[in-house]
Amino acid sequence: MADTNFDVVIVGGGPGGYVAAIRAAQLGMKVAVVEANHLGGICLNWGCIPTKALLRSAEIYHYMKKAKDYGLSCDNPGFDLDAVVKRSRGVSKQLNQGVGHLLKKNKVTVIDGWGKLAGGSKGARKVAVTKDGKAVTELTGKHVILATGARARELPGLEADHKLVWTYKDALVPDTMPKKLLVIGSGAIGIEFASFFNTLGAETTVVEVMDRVLPVEDAEISAFAKKAFEKQGMKILAGASVKELKRGKDSVTCVVEQKGKTQEISVDRVISAVGIVGNVEDIGLEGTKIKVDKTHIQTNEWSETDEPGVYAIGDLTGPPWLAHKAEHEGVICIEKIAGLKGVHPLAVERIPGCTYCHPQVASIGLTEEKAKAAGHDVKVGRFSFIGNGKAIALGEPEGLVKTVFDAKTGELLGAHMIGAEVTELIQGYSVAKTLETTEEDLMHTVFPHPTLSEMMHESVLDAYGKVIHM
């Protein structure tokens, strides 16, 4: 490279890294992104996007099997797993190329290789880049942003072998359609894969160490989800743990302990989805002031580490580990570096979470339980999908919208939803929280008819004894 001096060097080209790079370029900075694998990171290549492509195929298959309910005919619906996977990989490839185009358009220098801190001080940070063990270049940046992401956590004795025991990466490109499947973990990743394979016909068991499925969600939503999954034939073992995996030639016997009792479950494949660990190894943290807690780098509200001139964003830092959180952190970090006025720290309570199982789950803010624990006197509203004309017309009458308000101030503390398209609906409450909307504002808002969004209005009305259609 002729020029190795930059205003900002970003290590990692995932959602946080490439968005930060584009924003920096927009503000006139000279930017370099160092990426060792794929632009777009895990989310675009091996996470958010390809899983949604798989789940879309499963959703269409689900409706094909229900064609008669809509007055249609679809005899002997089937699927080609290889073709489903091929479509998913094609979607990721298209978007990966799109990220490359955006970076080129914004004149961001992209370097293929592994980047790590290599000394220097604030105003002259060094990043060494290698590829396949060979030196590529050394960059100098006034600011360095670490955006190296995370990978799947593996539990001792339950490690993936990529044949019988899969990580999420393996599950995205399955070599076979398992007749029986066990999923360890019922967070967003685990339950999405469980939903996908269960819809396609796998006899699916989910083991969750916490006392309920989707444990970060509101308890009422979790209970609703459990019933819906079990109705679909899924087996949910909550408050349980996998103690041992006995691996055979083409099957696994899972030793599961629940309430002091042990049972053995034989399956074709196991998916391990027990969380993530930050990619903090071999990125040059040694000898710096950067603090790491449980594999994640500690930062302040502006994504600054304790090492001058070095920042960290995205899954490399604290929860929630979401692509849209990483993107927003990247923008805030860059705008703070640029000295823009009006930059605000990221408000975690305003970050929505979405799980694309069937039925979909979405939420933002405090659960009812956490709101009460925080000392709020709450008002809670609920509205069921069965009371909504659009939901019935869609053939999706099962679902719930729940809202939690502060009884004294009318502040929207949280919103929790389960049912068709709630991952799209949640953004309405996201905007409401950003604008610090009260129950009165929401009540006075006109929602179009017939839409699923009307349930959001009705849930607010219900919290204050004014619900119309229930």
- CA-to-CA distance for 330 and 333, rounded, in angstroms? 5
- CA-to-CA distance for 422 and 355, rounded, in angstroms? 9
- CA-to-CA distance for 95 and 258, rounded, in angstroms? 43
Contact between 113 and 130 under an 8 Å Cβ cutoff? The reply is yes
- CA-to-CA distance for 192 and 188, rounded, in angstroms? 6
- CA-to-CA distance for 337 and 29, rounded, in angstroms? 10
Alpha helices in 106-187 (DSSP H): 168-172
The question of whether 449 is a catalytic residue gets the answer: yes
Contact between 109 and 33 under an 8 Å Cβ cutoff? The reply is yes
* Catalytic position from the list 296, 324, 449, 457: 449
- CA-to-CA distance for 81 and 78, rounded, in angstroms? 10
Of the CA atoms within 13 Å of residue 354, those in its CB half-sphere come to 20
| 456 exposure class (CB count in 10 Å sphere: 0-12, 13-18, 19+) | buried
252's enclosing H/E stretch is strand 252-258
Q: Which pairs count as long-range contacts for 240-243, CB under 8 Å and 24+ apart, including other chains?
A: 240/207, 240/208, 240/209, 241/207, 241/209, 242/158, 242/182, 242/184, 242/207
110's enclosing H/E stretch is strand 109-112
The letter for the amino acid at 121 is S
Contact between 309 and 185 under an 8 Å Cβ cutoff? The reply is no
Of the CA atoms within 13 Å of residue 257, those in its CB half-sphere come to 6
- CA-to-CA distance for 4 and 9, rounded, in angstroms? 10
CA angle (368, 432, 329) in 5-degree steps:
90
C-alpha 99: how far from its chain's center? 19
Task: Count Cβ atoms below 10 Å from residue 264 Cβ, excluding itself.
Answer: 10
Task: Count Cβ atoms below 10 Å from residue 27 Cβ, excluding itself.
Answer: 16
Catalytic residues: 449
